[in-house]
A and B are shown apart, each in its own frame.
Chain A
Amino acid sequence: MFKNAFYLYYDGFRSMVVGRTLWKIIFIKLFIMFAILKVFFFPNFLATNFDTDTERADHVLKNLTEPSSANGNH
């Protein structure tokens, strides 16, 4: 069964036509997203700037209780 499953994927990947281009696009896209965008442009704000959940909760509470620090425009 495992052999059959292996050859399903192995032969499937080998015989791809359009799929080869698509896999290239997928890998390039994932590389841009995870190795560039996520690392350099999308750090998790709370995870990066605070060490503990208590600090994170305090920060959010501060924004909630001191509206001047996060005031309303929309």
Chain B
Amino acid sequence: MIEQIDLTMVNWARATFALTAMYHWIFVPLTLGLSFICAFFESIYVKTGDEQWKKLTRFWMTLFGINFAIGVATGIILEFEFGTNWSNYSWMVGDIFGVPLAIEGLLAFFLEATFFAVMFFGWNRVSKGAHLFSTWMVAIGSNLSAVWILVANGWMQYPVGMKFNPDLARFEMVDFLAIATSPVAISHFVHVTSAAFLYASLFVVAVSSWYLLKKRHLQFAKRSLTVACTFGLLASLFVAFTGDEHAFHAADVQPMKLAAMEGLYQGEAPTGLVAVGLMNFSKKPGDDQDPFIFEVKIPMALSLLANRDIDSFVPGIDDLVYGNPEKNIMGVEEKMVRGKLAVAGLGEYKAAKKTGDDLAAGKALTLFEKNSDYLGYGYLDYAEQAVPYVPLIFYSFRVMVSLGTFFIFLFLVYLYFLYKDQLEKQALLLKLGAFSFFLGLIAHEAGWIVTEVGRQPWAIQDLLPVSVARSNLDAGTVEVTFFMFLILFTALLIAELKIMTKQISIGPEGD
């Protein structure tokens, strides 16, 4: 089985990973955001001494607990998949990911597990201040856990602070700080966590709007909405700001991803940003077809977003694939030549070490190191393989941005009617608010599609394509696990929805 190759296996492994990650991400952002919202509610209770705020805190804390319990450990399945389906990758990054994931495990265990019990069991047992401290620690601990996962993910998008060890076939950490403080990792973390805050705010908006529509728990719902909409508005503004920063970094370290996000094939200066567009699905890199059947562009906006300069040049897919000497852009074909030299150098080094020929090993190592920045390109068969699936990224990006903009207005309108004390009369708005939670989920998943599909074909940007990162397994094995996870996660989601809706229908009085 070890040496049997099946090229469709990689696609099943990718589908399984995508499925697991997308289901996992239904639970995680709610945990990250709702923990902070609970901390805000409890802070108001401690400050005012108003028992209604305590009741309110306990209700949302129960929903937080349900989500946490259903979602806990769903991420471990991703680690199972690394070891089974992505063993080459797993081996190669073990030294890099070991430290961040160990820190994540320790933080999660000590902060969450210790204070979780006080948060749920400690009412009336510890002082108000100690309980509030525990709630804040759970919120901070949950979010700190996310830091290290996103640092690891950020490294895959922008591998820094490492050196490849050709004897062990491993990327070894040489600069922990460079990895932990990589601009891509930091912008990734702040964007993802602020989006999680937004998502949790939408959850509170949805549940509270439903109460208002049903004319139940009116005071409770309006208090919840005031905090959630304020938090949600701040979070959504921050999401827009950090999203811009994220795209700016992508322009620098993942220009192909940015070009795919914009459906930009021919680079130009200045470059407009497509606000609305209907893509031509038959468009291929290098052909003469127009990438859009219809488009509305904001002039110079992409130049500003990518380079902070409205007149600057932004490379398109064709520039990146075929090269653009005028703009000093190396094409994929040239990178493939250098990548194949790196692969050959690695092979010669391995052979020379086996025969004990140190001179030949030294020469081979020099050849490898000279070209190792392009190692991943050595595994491509043709240049167009370096292009991800553009329409999916283009539309996912627009879904994410459009919904993100919509949420800013939604929170503003909610706050306006809360201020006017007329919210319960706005039935249409409340229905929209109740539905917006699902839109938040769609925006989140679309964001991950942009991030992860956008970096294809790379498991590690420029260094390791997914086709080499995988294990040598047959497709059937992976196919079975795909459907098993589909069943398991769907069952968990149904359980969550059932318990959550039951608790919501009971309301705060049932606490």
Q: Which residues of A contact B (CB under 8 A)?
A: 4, 8-9, 11-13, 18-19, 21-23, 25-26, 29-30, 32-33, 37-38, 41-47, 49, 53, 56-57, 59-61, 63-67, 69-74
Contacts and interface: CB of A to CB of B under 8 A. Distances in A.
Interface string B179-206: 0000000000000000000000000000
Interface stretch (B101-109, B120-128, B155-163): B120-128
Contacts of A73: 7, 10-11, 385, 467
B72 A47 contact: no
A30 B481 contact: no
Interface in B346-394: 346-347, 350, 378-381, 385
B91 interface: yes
B468 interface: yes
A44 B481 CA distance: 14
A18 B484 contact: no
A50 to B, nearest CB: 9
Contact of B65 (A9, A19, A69): A19
Interface of B: 2-3, 5, 7, 10-11, 62, 65-66, 69-70, 72-73, 76-77, 80-81, 83-85, 87-88, 90-92, 117-118, 120-122, 125, 166-170, 343, 346-347, 350, 378-381, 385, 456-457, 465-468, 470-473, 477, 480-481, 484, 488, 492, 495, 499, 503
A72 B499 contact: no
Contacts of B76: 33
Given A61-B169, A63-B88, A12 B468 contact: no
B352 to A, nearest CB: 12
Contact of A74 (B66, B77, B466): B466
B80 A42 contact: yes
Contacts of B166: 61
A22 B492 CA distance: 11
A70 B5 contact: yes
A30 B70 CA distance: 11
